């Protein structure tokens, strides 16, 4: 159901955020279009858009479909975001590298930088490296510092967004580390921490395929598998802020052990590491067969895919089918209109995995219930840092229940 605003003074901040969100997702748009989409009175919309223009976050442009405005009539205009009104920094902390981007108000990447410093190097190495990367990005993108709203960071596994602490015990030495607080001190700007899947979903919501979708599931494909969930236009985080941990749903009870303590988790299969393990086991299994039947030993997931060997292709397909079963079960509970596949490995595995998800959703569809669309993220491998930067913009400008206050 579409959210609508009200005309009560006590929710004027929410209404302002709602109007800005409509301009962002549907712009360029007329004031009449905003009024129709929001449920606000036209005069209320005019007042709000006037304030937003005064502070420089939206701008007017002529409406090419507005027709003639002669005879003293007011010209027809549309409103759109002012891309240079605000900027944000996005950081992706992964097990293998650091990635930092600067984005403008429309979530367009202005500059990116990365480092081979790995999360395994620990906070004493990573935090100073991030400080230097962020400084480089701000300088190279020529960002006016007074318009940089802050930095967001997407981290693998569970995190406490409200405290900025990471919780994954397998991600030593980061578990319990006050990452948000330390980065705020180092960077001199507000810092927002969230798990990488939810951050990526926010990025897709801010300027991707889910710009105007109320309910969707974002499947984050990286060194692990996670899901960012949007319900009724809002990110759903659960009680502890860690909804969407689909990587630890058991898909094969007799499967290999997972670091979480269970056996046969989705993450054991539907990741580059898991597919490589299965492929290498297959190479060993057929090693006693005649020479022409032997398989090349894959050193990397890229090499495995480039081989285009039928047996390897079947392993990737099996991983996609396992992912599809889990996504299909989640869709049965959440009833999303859209499923997006994204993350660092989507360029390699997204196509095959999409086929598995589509098959599973169609097989499980109930009569009269629409099958959600399944798409590859328009942001692609940049989903992590772009989504992290979108945390900042979303916190500052997106409408949400926290804005329903007397302020």
- Express each pLDDT in 61-79 by its tens digit: 887 776 544 555 566 799 9
Q: pLDDT of 200-229, one tens digit each?
A: 999 998 888 998 899 999 999 988 999 999
pLDDT of residue 272: 95
| Domain contains 328 | yes
Query: Stretch 273-281: mean pLDDT, rounded?
Result: 95
Q: What angle do CA 303, 304, 307 make, to 5 degrees?
A: 80
With pLDDT > 90 as the criterion, what percentage of the chain qualifies?
58
Q: pLDDT of 348-358, one tens digit each?
A: 999 999 999 99
Q: What angle do CA 338, 341, 347 make, to 5 degrees?
A: 145
What residue numbers bound the domain in which 26 lies?
9-82
Burial 175-185 (b: 16+ CB within 10 A, else e): eebbbbebbbe
Residue at a domain's end among 54, 82, 110: 82
CATH classification of the domain holding 31: 1.10.10.10
At 287, the pLDDT band (50, 70, 90 cuts) reads: confident
Rg (CA), the chain: 23
Q: Domain count for the chain, please give it.
A: 3
DSSP-derived secondary structure for 93-107:
E-SS-EEEEEEETT-
Are residues 236 and 218 in contact, defined by beta-carbon separation less than 8 angstroms? Answer: no
Q: What is the largest CA-CA distance in the chain?
A: 89
CATH classification of the domain holding 268: 3.30.420.40
* Torsion sign across C-alpha atoms 227, 175, 258, 333: negative
- Report helix, strand or coil for 115: strand
Helix (H) or strand (E) segment spanning residue 92: strand 87-93
Query: Stretch 156-174: mean pLDDT, rounded?
Result: 76
Looking at the fold, whether 247 and 389 belong to one and the same domain comes out as no
Strand partners, 193: 153
pLDDT of residue 11: 45
Query: Stretch 264-276: mean pLDDT, rounded?
Result: 96
Q: pLDDT of 297-324, one tens digit each?
A: 899 999 999 988 899 999 999 999 999 9
Residue at a domain's end among 43, 63, 82: 82
Q: Which of 98, 230, 227, 218 is nearest to 153 (CA)?
A: 98
Helix (H) or strand (E) segment spanning residue 38: helix 31-38
| Domain contains 38 | yes
| Domain contains 136 | yes
| Domain contains 2 | no
At 400, the pLDDT band (50, 70, 90 cuts) reads: low
Residue at a domain's end among 27, 55, 82: 82
- Report helix, strand or coil for 233: coil
- Of residues 399 and 225, the one with the higher pLDDT is 225
Helices (H), 96-178: 123-140
pLDDT of residue 291: 60
| Domain contains 268 | yes
| Domain contains 3 | no
Q: pLDDT of 131-146, one tens digit each?
A: 999 999 999 999 998 9
Give CA–CA dist 333/343, Å, rounded: 23
pLDDT of residue 166: 78
| Domain contains 101 | yes
Give CA–CA dist 277/298, Å, rounded: 10
CA distances from 147 to 25, 64, 88, 107, 142 (A): 21, 31, 8, 14, 11
Looking at the fold, whether 227 and 140 belong to one and the same domain comes out as no
Taking all residues of the chain, what is their mean pLDDT, rounded to a whole number?
87
Query: Stretch 92-106: mean pLDDT, rounded?
Result: 89
Query: Backbone dihedral region of 222: left (phi > 0), alpha (psi from -120 to 50 degrees) or beta?
Result: beta
Query: Stretch 26-49: mean pLDDT, rounded?
Result: 93
Q: Which of 59, 226, 235, 58 is nearest to 156 (CA)?
A: 226
Looking at the fold, whether 53 and 161 belong to one and the same domain comes out as no
Helix (H) or strand (E) segment spanning residue 217: strand 216-221
- Report helix, strand or coil for 326: helix
pLDDT of residue 67: 55
């Amino acid at each position: 159901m579409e959210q609508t605003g009200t005309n009560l003074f006590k929710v004027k901040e929410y209404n302002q955020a709602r109007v800005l969100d409509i301009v962002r997702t549907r712009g360029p748009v007329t004031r009449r279009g905003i009024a129709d989409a929001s449920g606000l009175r036209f005069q209320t919309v005019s007042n709000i858009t006037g304030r937003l223009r005064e502070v420089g976050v939206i701008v007017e442009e002529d409406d090419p479909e507005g027709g003639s405005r002669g005879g003293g009539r007011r010209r027809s205009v549309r409103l759109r975001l002012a891309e240079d009104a605000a900027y944000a920094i996005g950081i992706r902390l992964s097990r293998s590298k650091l990635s930092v981007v600067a984005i403008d108000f429309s979530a367009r990447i202005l500059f990116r930088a990365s480092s081979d410093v790995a999360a395994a190097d620990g906070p004493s190495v990573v935090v100073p490296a991030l400080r230097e990367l962020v400084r480089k990005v701000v300088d190279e993108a020529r960002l006016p510092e007074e318009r940089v709203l802050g930095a967001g960071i997407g981290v693998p596994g569970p995190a406490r967004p409200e405290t900025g602490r990471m919780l994954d015990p397998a991600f030593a030495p980061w578990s319990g580390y006050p990452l948000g607080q330390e980065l705020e001190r180092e960077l001199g700007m507000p810092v927002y921490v969230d798990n990488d899947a939810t951050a990526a979903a926010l990025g897709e919501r801010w300027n991707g395929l889910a710009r105007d979708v109320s309910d969707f599931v974002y499947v984050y494909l990286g060194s692990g598998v996670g899901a960012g969930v949007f319900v009724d236009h809002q990110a759903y985080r659960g009680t502890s802020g860690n909804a969407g941990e689909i990587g630890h749903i058991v898909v094969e009870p007799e499967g290999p052990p997972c670091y979480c303590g269970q056996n046969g988790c989705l993450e054991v299969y539907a990741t580059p590491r898991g597919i490589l393990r299965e492929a290498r086991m297959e190479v060993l299994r057929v090693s006693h067969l005649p020479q022409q039947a032997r398989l090349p030993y894959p050193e990397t997931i890229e090499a495995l895919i480039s081989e285009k060997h039928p047996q390897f292709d079947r392993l990737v397909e099996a991983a996609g089918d396992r992912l599809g079963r889990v996504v299909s079960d989640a869709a049965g509970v959440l009833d999303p209109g859209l499923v997006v596949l994204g993350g660092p490995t989507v360029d390699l595995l997204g196509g095959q995995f999409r086929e598995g998800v589509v098959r599973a959703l169609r097989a499980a569809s109930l009569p009269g219930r629409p099958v959600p669309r399944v798409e590859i993220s328009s942001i692609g491998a940049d989903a992590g840092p772009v989504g992290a930067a979108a945390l900042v913009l979303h916190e500052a400008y997106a409408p949400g229940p926290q804005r329903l206050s007397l302020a």
